[in-house]
Structure 1
Amino acid sequence: MPTIVHEFTWPDRVVVGTIGHPGSRTFYLQVRTGPQIVSVALEKEQSALLAEKIDEILDELMSAEGNPFSVPAQTPVELVDNDPLEPVDEQFRTGAMSLGWDPSTLQIVIEAFPFSESDVEEAIESDDETLVIDPPEMLVIRAPVGTARAFAKRTREIVGAGRPLCPLCGAPIDAGGHICAALTDLSDD
């Protein structure tokens, strides 16, 4: 069966957002072009790493002599998007992702593939080191450099908007507080 590809070449909107309260949020990568919207679930760590790697690619491109790709150092004001997610209909939960640069279109390319326990089991059970598993579907986003910079900035802000961290032990503090490991260690002395 051929892979269903949800492709967005020049998206109107591409953002990471969350649903839920800090400590139990679900992260979504959401992309829209016109009426077509796709939302895929991500882990918080995937979101943070995606933003970090996008900024690394953009910074490297920007450092080329004369900045030939017109990569902005900061998010262009007109591309700031602080709006909430649009209604979410989860397409799939993301497993693997890939990130790249397409010099022919001057766009950052994000690919997301669904997580599948059966694929993991099949890969573990297979003796064939060249096993290639065709996913049932995938998401491909091609974003211009300004949009990619805005995406990375918003994603870092969303990731950082979780539960506050305890200044003593570094663990997240829930709405009801938490038992600080650093204070517990002191009381054991």
Structure 2
Amino acid sequence: MTHQVHAFEPPERFVAGTVGPPGERTFFLQARGGGRLVSVALEKVQVSLLAEKLEELLTEAQRRFGVELPEAPVAAGDNEPLDTPVDEEFRVGTLGLAFDVDSATVVIEAIAAGEVEAEVELDDEDEDEDDEPDEDLDRLRVRLTPQATREFIERARRVVNAGRPPCPLCGQPLDPAGHLCPRHNGYHR
């Protein structure tokens, strides 16, 4: 089966965003450029970890390669909603990050969740045939400058924090009607 690589090097716009009300949100990474629009779905925790790991990658690039990093944006940057139509190309299973020293850019690769991840290997013979199981999976590849990476990080953090507030006791998200808090042995507060 053929796979597609959606490459944006660099994109006109690359953002994390959501569709739906808090508690029912679907998270997306969306890249736009060259007349193309690609949206891939992922989990909230993946967006949060992506922002965290991008920050670590920029810090490490500065430490190891002397890359000058821009300051974190003080004013709110891109607060626009996702571009429409938001058509999910695939659901992200794996995220990869790299720093290209030659061009001083960050490379983000979102790889589709494949059936390979969910399968249980029954035979040891099959392992030799599939050296790289994710080669046949769709992917979104984006190359960003350090400044664009900082802007992406700030927006991703705002998107993640815009959801339901956490319970002060257990940290789970609060619904408008409250929730069954494990710290209260299942009783409503």
Tell whether the structures are fold-level matches, with TM greater than 0.5: yes
Query: 1:71 deviation in Å?
Result: 1.3
TM-score scaled by length of structure 1: 0.86
Number of matched pairs: 183
Once the two structures are superposed, residues 71-95 of structure 1 have per-residue CA deviations (whole angstroms, 9 ceiling, x without a partner) of 1131375x92111111101100011
Identify the range of structure 1 (84-93 vs 125-134) with the bigger mean alpha-carbon deviation.
125-134
Task: Tell me if 1:120 matches 2:121.
Answer: no
Aligned to 2:83: 86
Q: Distance in 2 between matches of 1:49 and 1:175?
A: 26
Any conservation in 1 of the 2:23–2:164 contact (CA below 8 Å)?
yes
Q: Bigger shift: 56-65 or 142-151?
A: 56-65
1:33-79 CA-partner distances (Å, limit 9, x unpaired): 142110000111111111001000112223458xx4321131375x9
1:141 is matched with: 142
- The answer to whether the aligner puts 1:18 opposite 2:25 as a matched pair is no
With structure 2 as the length reference, what TM-score do the two structures score? 0.86
Aligned equivalent of 2:61? 61
**Would you say 1:171 and 2:168 are equivalent positions?**
no
1:185 offset after TM fit, Å? 7.2
> Mind listing any 5+ residue stretches in structure 2 that lack a counterpart?
none
Contact 1:8 1:31 in 2 (8 A): yes
Specify the code of the residue in structure 1 equivalent to 2:81: P
Letter of the aligned partner of 1:44 in structure 2?
K
Q: Which runs of 5+ in 1 are unaligned?
A: none
SS at match of 1:179: coil
Q: Is the 8 A contact 1:42 1:94 kept in 2?
A: yes
Q: C-alpha distance in 1, partners of 2:98/2:120?
A: 25
Q: Which amino acid in the other structure matches residue 58 of structure 1?
A: L
C-alpha contact 1:112 1:138 (8 A) present in aligned 2: yes
- Partners of 1:76 and 1:8 lie apart in 2 by 26
Q: Which residue of 2 aligns with 1:31?
A: 31
Give, in angstroms, the shift of residue 121 of structure 1.
4.9
Q: CA 1:102 to 1:125, structure 2 compared with 1: closer, same or farther past 3 Å?
A: farther
- Cα separation, 1, equivalents of 2:132 and 2:120: 9
Distance 1:159 1:18 in 2: 9
**Contact conserved, 2:51 with 2:157, CA < 8 A, in 1?**
yes
**Residue 97 of structure 1 contacts residue 110 of structure 1 at CA under 8 Å; is this kept in 2?**
yes
Alpha-carbon distance in structure 2 between the residues aligned to 1:144 and 1:76? 18
Report the Cα distance in structure 1 between the residues aligned to 2:49 and 2:27, rounded to whole angstroms. 13
Distance 1:123 1:172, change over 3 A: same
Say which SS state the counterpart of residue 91 (structure 2) adopts: strand
Q: Secondary structure at the match of 2:121?
A: helix
**For residues 165 and 115 of structure 1, what CA distance do their matches in structure 2 show?**
29
Identity value in percent: 42
Distance 1:177 1:84 in 2: 28
2:159 maps to a residue whose letter is I
| Aligned mates of 2:31, 2:13 — CA distance in 1 | 6
**SS of equivalent residue, structure 2 residue 47:** helix
